[in-house]
Every structure is written in C-alpha cells, then in structure tokens.
Amino acid sequence: MWNNFWNIIWLMFWAFALISYLFALFAIIGDLFRDRELNGWWKALWIIFLIFLPFLTALVYLIARGRGMAERQSRDVQQAQQQADDYIRQTAASSSPADDIAKAKQLLDQGVISAGEFDALKAKALGHKF
C-alpha cells in the first residue's frame, strides 16, 4: 500500500513540474513575440533553442530577460487598463434616452426636423426597432 502511495506522490510531483514548465514556456514564447526590440532572427534562435534544449534555454531566458519580461507585461496591463477606463468613460458619458428625446423635441420645436423624424428618433432612443 505505501509503495503505491509514494508512486502517486511521485506522479503528482512530476505532473506539477511539467505543468509549471509549460506555463513558463508559454510565458517565454508570448514574451518573445511581444518584444518589439528583438528582431526576428533572435526570436527564431530563441525558439530553436527552446525546442532542442528546452529546460536550459528556459532557465537562461528567465535569468537574462526576466526583468524585461516583467516590464513588458506591466506595460501591457497598464495599456489594457487605460483602454478599459477610456471605454468606461466614453460609455458613461453617452446620453440617456430621455436626453436624446429632449434634444429631438428641441429640434422639432425649432422646425429642424419633422414629426415623423421626431417619432423615429424617439423610437431609436427608446430602443424600438422601426
């Protein structure tokens, strides 16, 4: 029974090591293609080394370029956050249906649009299909 238990523990250890390596490998490959300063030949060379000497190359890459990986990741996260904030600000700044109807009513009162156009704008503001 104990022999089988330790085999399971050993299997779990190697499964954890393999999954950890795959996470590191995908992070390295993602970083290679995200890096705009590294030219294509260097990227190809890193990939070739990752294929033929995977563990050693991954370790060397993380030691040599780890700081740059962190900086690129941080920059991308900040850029994504800025885009999300801009989208939220833009969406929040859009007018409500009541505001759209009030503007259309002003245009109708000024004679800029007809009653039919006002009805169409009102239906659009309320989300009705026409």
Write the DSSP symbol of residue 94: S
pLDDT at 130 > cutoff 60 = no
pLDDT band at 1 (very low <50, low <70, confident <90, very high): low
Cα 130 to its chain centre, rounded Å, is 36
Report the predicted TM-score, pTM, of the whole model to 2 decimal places.
0.59
Write the DSSP symbol of residue 128: -
Q: What is the mean pLDDT of residues 3-19?
A: 91
Cα 60 to its chain centre, rounded Å, is 27
Tokens of 27: 């992070």
Write the DSSP symbol of residue 127: T
Q: Using an 8 Å Cβ cutoff, are 27 and 69 in contact? A: yes
What confidence score (pLDDT) does residue 93 get?
67
